[in-house]
Structure 1
Amino acid sequence: MTKRFSSPRLVESAKLTTFAQTAFAGAIALNVWVNPSLAGDPFRNREPHQIGDQTEAAFKAIFQQGNYPVADHYLEQALSKEPNEPLVYAMKASLAYGNKDWAKLDTYSQKTLETGQKLIPSDPLRGNLYIAIGHFLEGAVVITREGTVNGVPQALSRLRQVYEYLDKAEAISANDPELNLIKGYMDLLLAVNLPFASPDQAIRRLEQNASPGYLVDRGIALAYRDLKKYPQALEYVNRAIKTTSDNPEIYYLKAQILKQLGQKEKSQETIEEAIANFDKALTKKSQLPGDLVKQIERERRSAVSLKNAG
Structure 2
Amino acid sequence: MENQSKSIWKNLFFALSLAVGSLLSLDNSLALAADPFREQNVREIGELTESAFKTVFLRGNYLTVEEQLDLAETEETNEPLIYAMQASLAYTKEDWTSLQQYALKTLETASAIGSEDPLRSNLYLAVGHFLNGAYLYHEQGAIAAIDKLQMVFKYLDRAEDIDRDDPELNLIKGYMDLLLAVNLPFSSPEQAIARFETYAAPNYLVNRGIAVAYRDLKQYQRALEYANKALEIAPENPEHYYLKGQILRQIGKEQSNITVLEEALENFAIAADYSEQLPESVIEPLEREIRQTQEKIAEIETESARKFP
TM-score by length of 2: 0.89
Q: Which residue of 2 aligns with 1:9?
A: none
Q: CA deviation at 1:22?
A: 2.5
Counterpart secondary structure, 2:226: helix
Q: Which residue of 2 aligns with 1:215?
A: 205
Aligned to 2:107, which of 104, 113, 125? 113
Q: Distance in 1 between matches of 2:194 and 2:21?
A: 19
Q: Does 1:27 align with 2:21?
A: no
Number of positions where the alignment pairs a residue of Structure 1 with one of Structure 2: 293
Whether the 8 Å CA contact 2:15–2:175 is kept in 1: the answer is: no
Output one character per residue of 1:274-296: Cα deviation in whole Å (capped at 9) or x when no partner.
Answer: 11000000111121113422321
Q: Distance in 2 between matches of 1:18 and 1:100?
A: 16
Counterpart secondary structure, 1:187: helix
Q: CA deviation at 1:21?
A: 4.1
Q: Distance in 1 between matches of 2:8 and 2:257?
A: 31
Percent of residue pairs identical: 48
Whether the 8 Å CA contact 2:83–2:106 is kept in 1: the answer is: yes
Moved >4 Å (runs of 4+): 12-18
Whether the 8 Å CA contact 1:19–1:194 is kept in 2: the answer is: no
Q: Which residue of 1 aligns with 2:192?
A: 202
Aligned to 1:168, which of 136, 152, 158? 158
Whether the 8 Å CA contact 2:21–2:88 is kept in 1: the answer is: no
RMSD: 1.9
Q: Does 1:236 align with 2:226?
A: yes
Q: Which residue of 1 aligns with 2:65?
A: 71
Unaligned runs of 5+ in 1: 1-11
Q: Distance in 2 between matches of 1:109 and 1:120?
A: 17
Q: CA deviation at 1:16?
A: 5.8
Whether the 8 Å CA contact 2:34–2:46 is kept in 1: the answer is: no
**Larger radius of gyration, structure 1 or 2?**
2
Aligned to 2:217, which of 207, 227, 230? 227
Counterpart secondary structure, 2:42: coil
Letter in 2 for 1:82: E
Whether the 8 Å CA contact 1:21–1:152 is kept in 2: the answer is: no
Q: Distance in 1 between matches of 2:2 and 2:272?
A: 38
Whether the 8 Å CA contact 2:22–2:57 is kept in 1: the answer is: no
Q: Which moved more, 1:126-135 or 1:98-107?
A: 98-107
Unaligned runs of 5+ in 2: 25-30, 301-309
Q: Distance in 2 between matches of 1:232 and 1:57?
A: 32
Whether the 8 Å CA contact 2:34–2:50 is kept in 1: the answer is: no
Counterpart secondary structure, 2:19: coil
